Chains A and B, each alone.
Chain A
Amino acid sequence: MRRQRPSGGKSPRTTLVPFGLIAISVFVAIATGTSSSPTEAQDVSGADLYAANCAGCHQANGEGLPGTFPPLAENPGAADPEYVATVITDGKSGPIEVLGETYNSAMPAIAGLSDNELDALVDHVVGLAGGGESPDPVDPVDPAEPPEPGDIDDGHDLFIGRNRFDEGATACASCHTAGEVGNFGGSSLGPDLTDAYEILGGDAGLSAWLANPPAPTMTPIFSDRPLTDEEIADLVAFLADAPNQDRPSDNVDWLLIGGLSGLAVLIAGMAIAWRGPRRTYVDTLRRKQ
């Protein structure tokens, strides 16, 4: 049966409220002369985009991290706009030789850039590499205090979500697994992070990655909910230790044995409780005689 909409429950006034709010906000926007669309062409700043998407690994002025993330400054490859655009949109991984040094790490594709934004970003990178116009100098970031070494256990708790991240970001185990995180492991939605410490370049590389995760699925989650320095240090310590931990499969035997013995107890109990076939009514009558 089709359910009928209850009539007369909602007054016309309540349905008009949202329209009223929109009208008011439009009026306010016009009156104050502000624009509600910040992504117009003239507003795109290559430097800002670089800071948001690239500086985490390649550092503020493209100097890179020695041995982990290649530099962009003075890098002849990065002076080619087409090459730079390809790497930004497609990502890059595998061994690469820059200025006589070999790097072996992974760069994810940077998704969600408009054509204007891509052009601005490419211009900025090419500028850093010494091609085209010289880019606006970026204020050097204050040299961070050397982070205190993190705690492996705290990192584990953060990873599996036992302790929440201060800014409310999703626990790592929602998508990833790494090392020993419980008998059933973490999630297999994202890559296994057991070797992430090595791949992403140790303390410095991993810290930089975590401070501003550039992976396309992680960016929208973590851009508004950044990890604190302490959290990053703890996670780095945990992930550094991950390859040394027991693999989850080592503990599954215990589960199997426990389950089987529980089943045996259950079946034995049923065999005792319901011994023999059920008696028919005539049998019960004969027994009464």
Chain B
Amino acid sequence: MRVRAQMSMLFHLDKCIGCHTCSVACKNLWTDRDGAEYMWWNNVETRPGTGYPTGWEDQEHYKGGWHRDKKGRLKLILHSKGGGVAKAFYNPALPELDDYYDPFTFKYGDLFSAPPSEQQPTAIPISKITGEPVEISSGPNWDDDLGGSDLYARNDPSMDGVDDVVRAQMEEIERVVFNYLPRICNHCLNPSCLAACPSGAIYKRDEDGVVLVNEDKCRGWRMCVSGCPYKKVYYNWNSGKSEKCILCFPRLETGQAPACAHSCVGRIRYMGVLLYDADKIATSAALPDDELLDAQLDMILDPSDPQVIAAAKAAGIDPGWIDSAQRSPIYKFVKEWGMAFPLHPEYRTEAMMFYVPPLSPVMSTIEQNFVKLDIPDERRDFELLEELDKARMPLEYLANLFTVGDSDRIRRVLRIMLAVRTYKRRQSVDGVIDETTIALLDDVGITENMAEAIYSMTTTPTVQDRFVLPPYHREMSLEDVGDPLTAKGETGFGFLQSPRRGA
């Protein structure tokens, strides 16, 4: 057993309202720079939809991630070793700028400097790259809230396997459904961006598993951009280097949650440490599709197990981190309650950001111009619980996103969430918890204590509950490198060297 620590984030999709505050916080903090205008290290997509960049899940087009070859070995989809050399100067799997979007702003100055005229002055859109006027035809959220759109929602690659009748229904205006999917870099255990980089510029930090691009070593080959199945590595046209989400490690090191998580209005995001067994990475990523998710979840170790604690200490993991891992909300959601899954485990990168799948309204029908729910009024909770197949968001679709097509796992999670709701409603509205409700909890496989814990972690967590950040002890790491008091009493830390093209 080789224990390592990973900082993970969890997205409770049932709480996401799609306000994009996370994206804006990230943009303001990290990518409001020349060459980074089009990058959204954090973005929120409307699902079903094609996302940003358009159709990123279509790996036949973008060739990201890993696949298992006929001999059961793990191979990059992008290219073989020899093929990588052959395509070094022409990589056909790169997204175009138009697949992201031509970043634009508005010429606000015209509002003040326009000469007097009959008409109101307007601020025309201009490209942030060229400064020329542009006609805006796409954007990172062009299909925002466009559930059922015939171009975007219909072409969602994850709709494969969903029944044609269901798909047709989803395009009817009364049955349109969508939810939101916030995405950041998944800081994978088996990153294909790292494997694709010919310069060895990408690395996974030892202490917290954050995947970073060394801007000094990056030579701008852009193999990481096509190698990442989530399209979360971006090429900066100004510096000639690749950039990606850094999980706000400067904030983590000073005890603050990442900006996207910190600013989240719906409080859907949780941060915490997971301990995992690094010895299993290679084998678990190369398993057949239906064993992938279990293998990945099995790698996550119980931080309260004495054997794991001993192994973690032997691996040099700080006791503060082990303590933090024991209190980690991520561990509770992923392992104790089994309610969260990584996004697209079939990409075999072992993504370490986790998602709790969302509930959706039940299907309705139109009768005499009235919208009528498809289930009888009495005991509605239980009906929905029993008939999740009638939920508007098809389970197969969520299963394609999170569980490699296994909709039973999604069904189990949604039933837990519904059972907790019913339980709390009985408790707070009726004041009595009847036998039927207890039987319901039994049926979905949780206890009353678990129901209370899930409830409080879902609806009333404090900041300390949501963000259990380990002590980074940067002051100790700094002492290893040099005297931390070198710059004491001075006005700054000297000059930072900015990355240069070809440097």
Contacts and interface: CB of A to CB of B under 8 A. Distances in A.
Contacts of A282: 50, 54-55, 98-99, 138, 151
Nearest to A280: B98
B425 interface: no
Contact of A286 (B58, B99, B151): B151
Contact of A285 (B53, B96, B151): B151
A281 B151 contact: no
Given A280-B54, A281-B54, A282-B138, A289 B99 contact: no
A275 interface: no
A259 B115 CA distance: 59
Contact of B58 (A278, A280, A281): A281
Interface in A253-280: 278, 280
B150 A281 contact: no
Contacts of B151: 282, 285-286, 289
Contacts of A280: 54, 96, 98-99
A289 B149 CA distance: 13
Nearest to A282: B54
B61 interface: yes
Contacts of B99: 280-282
A77 to B, nearest CB: 64
Contacts of A284: 61
Given A289-B150, A289-B151, A281 B61 contact: yes
Contacts of B55: 281-282, 285
Nearest to B138: A282
B407 interface: no
Nearest to A288: B155
Interface string B137-175: 010000000000011000100000000000000000000
A288 B150 CA distance: 12
Nearest to B56: A281
A226 B98 CA distance: 72
A77 B319 CA distance: 97
Contacts of B54: 280-282, 285
Interface centre among A278, A280, A282, A286 (most CB of B within 10 A): A282
Contacts of A285: 50, 54-55, 151, 155
Contacts of B150: 289
A4 B55 CA distance: 51
Interface in B419-441: none
Contacts of B98: 280, 282
Interface in B40-97: 50, 53-55, 58, 61, 95-96
Nearest to B98: A280
Contacts of A286: 151
Contact of B50 (A278, A281, A288, A289): A281
Contacts of A278: 96
A280 B50 CA distance: 13
A284 B138 CA distance: 15
Nearest to A285: B155
Nearest to A283: B98
A173 B186 CA distance: 62
Interface centre among A280, A281, A288, A289 (most CB of B within 10 A): A281
Nearest to B54: A281
A284 B98 CA distance: 12
Contacts of B58: 281
A282 B58 CA distance: 12
Interface string A178-206: 00000000000000000000000000000
B171 to A, nearest CB: 13
A278 to B, nearest CB: 6
B36 to A, nearest CB: 21
Nearest to A279: B96
Nearest to B151: A285
B410 to A, nearest CB: 27
12 contacts: A278-B96, A281-B53, A281-B55, A281-B58, A281-B96, A282-B54, A282-B55, A282-B99, A285-B50, A285-B151, A286-B151, A288-B155
Interface of A: 278, 280-282, 284-286, 288-289
Shortest 6 CB-CB distances between A and B: which pairs?
Answer: A281-B55, A280-B98, A281-B54, A285-B155, A280-B96, A281-B99
Given A280-B54, A281-B53, A285-B50, 11 more contacts: A278-B96, A280-B96, A280-B99, A281-B54, A281-B58, A282-B98, A282-B99, A285-B55, A285-B151, A289-B150, A289-B151
